[in-house]
Amino acid sequence: MTEQTPPAAIDKTALRHAATVLVVRRDGTQGPAVLMGMRGAGAAFMPSKYVFPGGALDAGDGAIAQATPLSAICTRRLAFEAPADVGPALATAAVRELWEETGLLLGAPGAWPDTPPEDWAGFAATGHLPAAAPLHFVFRAITPPGRPRRFDARFFLTDVADLASDPDDFSRACDELSHLHWVPMAEARALNLPFITEVVLAEVQALLEATEGPLGPPESVPFFDNSGPRSIFRRIA
């Protein structure tokens, strides 16, 4: 996760927009698999837990040109009780976090209109622009109060076939996640998972079982809303 603002200026307990990516592959003999990695034991947020690639929205993500836009339905749903322009920025953040934490490329060939920011330099050097069209908004969860980090996290689903890089090459990943590997969904719950990760896995597994062809937006998006004193479960239509 790249921090654009000096650490001293960030309120770590403030609620921050974040994007998480579930990349799935459906070409194995053990059923669908999802890409996961383990956070470090010293991490302030979810230490030693297996998670999907993701992180906080950076201030500049909304200004990055995209090769392909997010679908209209995902853009609309992402704006539910949120700024109207947050959807495209979150999609860009999802692409950036996937690149930083795994070295995998979700993009399409294209020329950058301006000099890319430092945290996009490596991505831009591949000759690609971030692609938002393959991302499908499938889950939203707000971290409960009292945690050392709080996020308004949106979870995106994408297919391994949409990657523009070798899905088994993690050589360009940063060191934020270790043990990066493709986990069969049927085995994922045996890992040390955060509660919300288990919930998202169950939702996505059900979605995949009901999907025969290309991935697409679900009928509605589950929303675990912990913004107030009690947890509320809703669905975004």
Comparison of pLDDT for 215 and 40, the residue scoring more: 215
Question: How would DSSP label each residue in 29-52?
Answer: TTS-EEEEEEE-TT-SSSTT-EE-
What residue ranges in the chain does DSSP mark as E strands? 15-25, 33-39, 50-51, 54-56, 107-109, 128-130, 136-142, 150-159, 177-184, 221-225, 232-236
- Helix (H/G/I), strand (E/B), else coil: 25: strand
d(CA 97, CA 89): 12
91 inside domain: yes
| pLDDT of the residue at 146 | 81
d(CA 77, CA 81): 9
152 inside domain: yes
* pLDDT surpasses 60 at 41: no
* pLDDT surpasses 80 at 141: yes
Amino acid (1-letter code) at residue 161: A
pLDDT band at 27 (very low <50, low <70, confident <90, very high): confident
1 inside domain: no
5 inside domain: no
* Percent over 90 (pLDDT), the chain: 76
| pLDDT of the residue at 149 | 85
* pTM of the shown model: 0.91
Distances (CA, A) of 189 to 130, 196, 225: 31, 12, 23
The number of domains in the chain is: 1
* DSSP 8-state symbol, 144: P
Instruction: Provide the domain limits for residue 73.
Output: 14-236
98 inside domain: yes
Comparison of pLDDT for 140 and 9, the residue scoring more: 140
d(CA 217, CA 23): 14
* pLDDT surpasses 60 at 3: no
Q: What pLDDT, in 10s, does the model give residues 169-228?
A: 999 999 888 899 999 998 998 999 999 999 999 999 999 998 888 999 999 999 999 988
Least trusted range by pLDDT, from 8-12, 13-17, 213-217, 218-222: 8-12
Mean pLDDT score, 103-111: 97
Q: Longest Cα pair distance anywhere in the chain, in angstroms?
A: 48
For residues 212, 214, 74, 177, the Cα torsion angle rounded to the nearest 10 degrees is 100
Comparison of pLDDT for 168 and 6, the residue scoring more: 168
Distances (CA, A) of 116 to 35, 66, 173: 27, 12, 19
**Domain of residue 221, CATH code:** 3.90.79.10
- Long-range contacts from 178-183, C-beta under 8 angstroms, 24+ separation: 178/37, 178/38, 178/40, 179/37, 179/38, 179/50, 180/35, 180/36, 180/37, 180/102, 181/35, 181/36, 181/37, 182/25, 182/28, 182/33, 182/34, 182/35, 183/33, 183/34, 183/35, 183/36, 183/50
**Over the chain, what is the mean pLDDT?**
90
| pLDDT of the residue at 42 | 56
177 inside domain: yes
| pLDDT of the residue at 44 | 52
